[in-house]
Amino acid sequence: EVQVLESGGGLVQPGGSLRLSCAASGSTFSSFAMSWVRQAPGKGLEWVSGISGSGDSTYYADSVRGRFTISRDSSKNALYLQMNSLRADDTAVYYCAKLTAYSASAVDYWGQGTLVTVSS
């Protein structure tokens, strides 16, 4: 059974930084792309960032490009999201998601989410 578990959320001031982590178990980690998806309070799902199975290709939504960096460490079965220059509209629950294939594909497993609150 695949399990995906996020950590690292919390309260941060506008302009600050935060690093989210995601631990994946139960699958051949480097064989699958991963993504971060967020959901602002009362809003729909928003795809944030994705990374290929090998980590050599990364992708970002326009809303976070230049501020967020996605990375993965296959030796630790871990996914990361470094978030800089945070703004109030980055406040959301952030979900780590395992994709079904090496690159662009559907999500098959979701984490439980970690809340990021950007506020002074």
Binding site for other proteins (CB under 8 A): 35, 37, 44-47, 50, 59-62, 95, 100, 103-113
For the bound state, the minimum distance from the C-beta of residue 14 to other proteins, rounded and expressed in Å, comes to 25
**16 versus 103: smaller Cβ distance to other proteins:** 103
**16 versus 108: smaller Cβ distance to other proteins:** 108
Cα–Cα distances (Å) from 10 to 47, 52, 75, 116, in that order, read 20, 27, 26, 5
Closest CA to 99 of 44, 47, 40: 47
Cα–Cα distances (Å) from 65 to 5, 32, 93, in that order, read 24, 22, 18
Query: Position of tokens 């944030």?
Result: 48
Q: CB atoms < 10 A from the CB of 68, how many?
A: 21
For the bound state, the minimum distance from the C-beta of residue 115 to other proteins, rounded and expressed in Å, comes to 11
Q: At 29, give phi and psi (nearest 5°).
A: -55, -45
**23 versus 61: smaller Cβ distance to other proteins:** 61
For the bound state, the minimum distance from the C-beta of residue 60 to other proteins, rounded and expressed in Å, comes to 7
**13 versus 100: smaller Cβ distance to other proteins:** 100
Taken in order 44, 79, 69, 104, is the CA torsion positive or negative? Answer: negative
For the bound state, the minimum distance from the C-beta of residue 39 to other proteins, rounded and expressed in Å, comes to 8
